[in-house]
């Protein structure tokens, strides 16, 4: 069977997009998803995303990691899906869609997509790191020599170690560049490697840096391997609300496999 696909990337975080409004994709076939994401034997991507119909909203997002398993929220994937929905003429310049972590609002202007993320109500501050959930779980810690840091090895050790174990976590290494700018490198579970960008990751970093008083800004710039992202938020009674992930989402190519 042939499968039509589209390829998108958001600051180097790349995704296979499939229009599944007719429910023809085998959603339980983890080997198929893994194959399509394989960079040598398939299309190549950090994840695969299905765009599906929704009774109440513009569309539904179903996200799979490159290992073939359905996963938690992907911020850059959500932004790319909004761009894909516009290409399919499902939306024009605004969208409301459902993902695994609930309802999301988005706006698109050219290549720039703003995606509203979930509120963050709990930030676990430890001696040498911060843990929080921004739709996906994230461990955040500082590293001074971030350019030469072994993200894959050190990230995997944290991802599989205590206290995360089998469930695992995404791991973000951060260097402060100025009061409102931070450099971020991320190890993503499910990909089991460093990715060029992670949307929920930079969202976690921005909020963690504010919670640690490393920044006073409510709009934070994040430099990732694949480009630049911004995160803005409001704070109300210790809860981070109106959280927006902002950055480019671009169509790369389409094909049939």
Q: Which of 74, 113, 184, 224 is catalytic?
A: 74
Q: Is 109 annotated as a binding residue?
A: no
Q: Is 65 annotated as a binding residue?
A: yes
86-122 exposure pattern, b = at least 16 Cβ within 10 A, e = fewer: beeebbeeebebbbebeebbbbbeeeebbbbbbebee
Who contacts 168 (Cβ-Cβ below 8 Å, separation ≥6)? 137, 159, 160, 189
Determine whether 74 is an active site residue: yes
Check residue 154 and give left, alpha or beta (phi > 0: left; psi -120 to 50: alpha): alpha
Q: Is 189 annotated as a binding residue?
A: yes
Q: Is 188 annotated as a binding residue?
A: yes
Q: Is 199 annotated as a binding residue?
A: yes
Q: Which of 95, 198, 206, 209 is catalytic?
A: 198
Q: Is 170 annotated as a binding residue?
A: yes
Please count the other Cβ atoms lying within 10 Å of the Cβ belonging to residue 150. 11
Please answer whether residues 135 and 73 qualify as being in contact, where contact means their C-beta atoms are separated by less than 8 angstroms: yes
Strand boundaries in the chain, DSSP class E: 4-10, 13-19, 47-52, 59-65, 94-99, 102-109, 112-116, 123-125, 130-133, 137-142, 170-178, 181-188, 193-195, 219-224, 227-236, 239-248, 250-256
8-state DSSP, 211: H
Determine whether 198 is an active site residue: yes
Query: Look-up: residue for tokens 């490198």?
Result: 185
Q: Is 77 annotated as a binding residue?
A: no
Please count the other Cβ atoms lying within 10 Å of the Cβ belonging to residue 225. 17
Q: Is 76 annotated as a binding residue?
A: yes
Q: Is 242 annotated as a binding residue?
A: no
Query: Which segments are annotated as binding site?
Result: 13, 65, 75-76, 170, 188-189, 199-200
* Residues designated catalytic: 74, 198
Query: Which segments are annotated as binding site for substrate?
Result: 13, 65, 75-76, 170, 188-189, 199-200
């Amino acid at each position: 069977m042939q499968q039509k696909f589209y390829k998108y990337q958001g600051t180097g975080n790349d995704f296979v997009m499939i229009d599944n409004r007719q429910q023809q994709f085998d959603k339980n076939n983890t080997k198929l998803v893994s194959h399509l994401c394989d960079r040598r034997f398939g299309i190549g991507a950090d994840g695969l995303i299905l765009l599906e119909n929704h009774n109440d909203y513009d569309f539904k997002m179903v996200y799979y990691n490159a290992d073939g398993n359905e996963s938690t929220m992907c911020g850059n994937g959500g932004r790319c899906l909004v761009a894909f929905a516009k290409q399919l003429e499902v939306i024009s310049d605004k969208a409301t869609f459902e993902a695994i972590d609930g309802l999301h609002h988005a706006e698109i202007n050219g290549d720039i997509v703003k995606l509203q993320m979930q509120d963050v109500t709990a930030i676990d501050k430890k001696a040498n790191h911060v843990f929080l959930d921004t739709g996906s779980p994230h461990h955040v810690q500082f590293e001074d020599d971030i350019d030469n840091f072994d993200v894959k090895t050190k990230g995997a050790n944290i991802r599989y170690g205590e206290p995360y174990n089998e469930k695992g976590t995404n791991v973000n290494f951060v260097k402060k560049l100025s009061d409102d700018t931070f450099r971020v490198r991320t190890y993503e579970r499910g990909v089991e490697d460093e990715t060029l960008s992670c949307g929920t990751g930079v969202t976690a970093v921005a909020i963690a840096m504010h919670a640690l008083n490393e920044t006073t800004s409510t709009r934070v710039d994040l430099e990732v391997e694949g480009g630049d992202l911004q995160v803005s938020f409001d704070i109300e009674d210790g809860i981070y609300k109106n959280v927006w992930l902002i950055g480019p989402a671009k169509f790369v190519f389409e094909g049939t496999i």
